A and B are shown apart, each in its own frame.
Chain A
Amino acid sequence: MSRPDHPRSVVVVGASHAGVIMAERLRARGFGGSITLIDRSPHLPYQRPPLSKDWLGGEVEPDTLALRSEEYYGDNGIELLLGADVTRIDRQGGGVAIRIRHSHVRQEARRFDRLVLATGARARVLDLPGVDHPDVLVLRDLDDARRLGQRIRRGPLAVIGGGFVGLEVAATARGLGTEVTVVEAAPRLSGRAVGAGTSDFLLAAHTELGVDVRLGTAPVEIVVRGGRVRGVRLADGREVPAATVLVGVGAEPRTEIAEHLGLVCDRGVVVDERCLTSDGRTIAIGDCTVQEDCSGNRVRLESVDNATEQADAAAATLLGADLPRRPTPWFWSDQGPWKLQIVGVVGADMDVVVRTDPAKPRRRVTLYFAGDALVAAECVNAPADFVAVRAALSRGLRPSREALSDSAVPLKKLLAALPVN
């Protein structure tokens, strides 16, 4: 089934959500050539979301994190090179030559027809006095999570950054009885990701959990005394106690290889809807990429959903197949007993309908309308509403405000009653 223009060998740099799913999708689409997945991490590719949630509290065994079993790769003819760093890539004819470092002594050079960059992101670091101390941690990978997990029950935890990862860790730590302070420089929690109402609701939720949330004040120094971290000093002069500090201020895309190849990058590797980079040949997927949203802005979507959807699109592109239909993007974040789910893209100045139920005070659904049409939703502790909205949006339904305003009728009923367009 291989057409002359089909690649015979594909290499994927980065074996995580995007890379592994991409390999799987290639095989599912009947690709018979060689697939090589390379990752510098020595661990069998694993899921990252649990690292800031239940896994951190020690309730889940490490091997349950695996994205696919070890046998899966062999059974599907997917070569997995772990503990292997890609240090250099050169264009060669229609393909690429790759240098791989397995250890300080062992190097290897290989040639492939097509290159896929799935290099993801790294935790952003802060430039603060004291930030290099070993009691100051970040959370992006399994080794980070192990370090944090060993300390999360010990003494007070200060989390710098009120984004999803920081809030998830804060909630998990509170669940274990640890004293937690969250320091957020902006006036709101997760202010860039969710609307004001949802943000305020999350603030109340975390306050209820006993998290001490400090908004609108930046950290200026990690306080170290007697060789140990003791706290974080804030711009307002106060000090919050800490034996461990988690810096959770977002992630930065790994674009080194793309830049070395001269590909256009703009806070991420720029890709089109086929996941092609600016050379029209190299593919990039997942957290390392930026893509245009419906209004033409370049956005970086850091989510399992995006990694999965781009992986599928990339597999189609490599095989010259039609692009698969892309459902509405979505995201979830479990913060202790609070489950946040977002579907669609919220824009500025959108109309909002908030649905609450006095019988269920911990539940809140915010619907966003562009003009009169539903385009996005933020759901807290309302997974059924979330699934209903996601299904409706993915089916192309754009219900109006009026159709969805009656809070007394369940959302799924209102949506099910709509005509299919």
Chain B
Amino acid sequence: MPKVFYVQPDGSERVVDGAAGDSVMSTAVRNGVRGIVGQCGGSLSCATCHVYLAADDRQYFDGPGEDEDEMLDCTASDREDTSRLSCQLVLREGVDVHVTVPDEQT
């Protein structure tokens, strides 16, 4: 079972068991992880699921698609190299994922 490590801006961490095929966003929302809103349910409509993906974990995912890339320029918290929309980060068996939640989503 893949685990997702969510680090809050204050440094506190929460670990949630995910399921392969689910996204980092839906895993957070269903378990009530603070700071990931995911209002559109993952349809690339809201940009309220922004996270900073740990640099070491970037190897497990393809880079952002065109729409995601453009939306990341307009998120509530500043974009960094590691910025992703977490609804586009799909979990895989045997791969744990570490993300940091930004200050603001809307």
Contacts and interface: CB of A to CB of B under 8 A. Distances in A.
B81 interface: no
B20 interface: no
Contacts of B76: 391
A252 interface: no
B39 A69 contact: no
B11 interface: no
A384 B75 CA distance: 10
A304 B37 CA distance: 12
A75 B75 CA distance: 31
Contact of A68 (B30, B71, B75): B30
Interface stretch (A46-54, A85-93, A156-164, A227-235): A46-54
B40 interface: yes
Contacts of B40: 49, 304, 332
B64 to A, nearest CB: 11
Given A64-B22, A72-B32, A384-B74, A341 B45 contact: yes
B3 to A, nearest CB: 15
A135 interface: no
A346 interface: no
Contacts of A64: 22, 26
B86 to A, nearest CB: 15
Interface residues of A, number: 32
Contacts of B29: 67-68
A177 interface: no
A291 B48 CA distance: 25
B28 to A, nearest CB: 11
A66 interface: yes
Contact of A50 (B30, B41, B44, B74): B41
Interface of B: 22, 26, 29-32, 34, 37, 39-41, 43-47, 67, 70-71, 73-76, 106
Interface of A: 24, 28, 47, 49-50, 53, 64, 66-69, 71-72, 75-76, 304-305, 308, 327, 330, 332, 334, 339, 341, 383-384, 386-388, 391, 394, 412
Given A69-B30, A330-B46, A383-B71, 16 more contacts: A24-B32, A53-B43, A67-B29, A68-B31, A75-B32, A76-B32, A304-B39, A332-B40, A332-B43, A339-B44, A339-B45, A383-B47, A387-B75, A388-B73, A412-B70, A412-B74
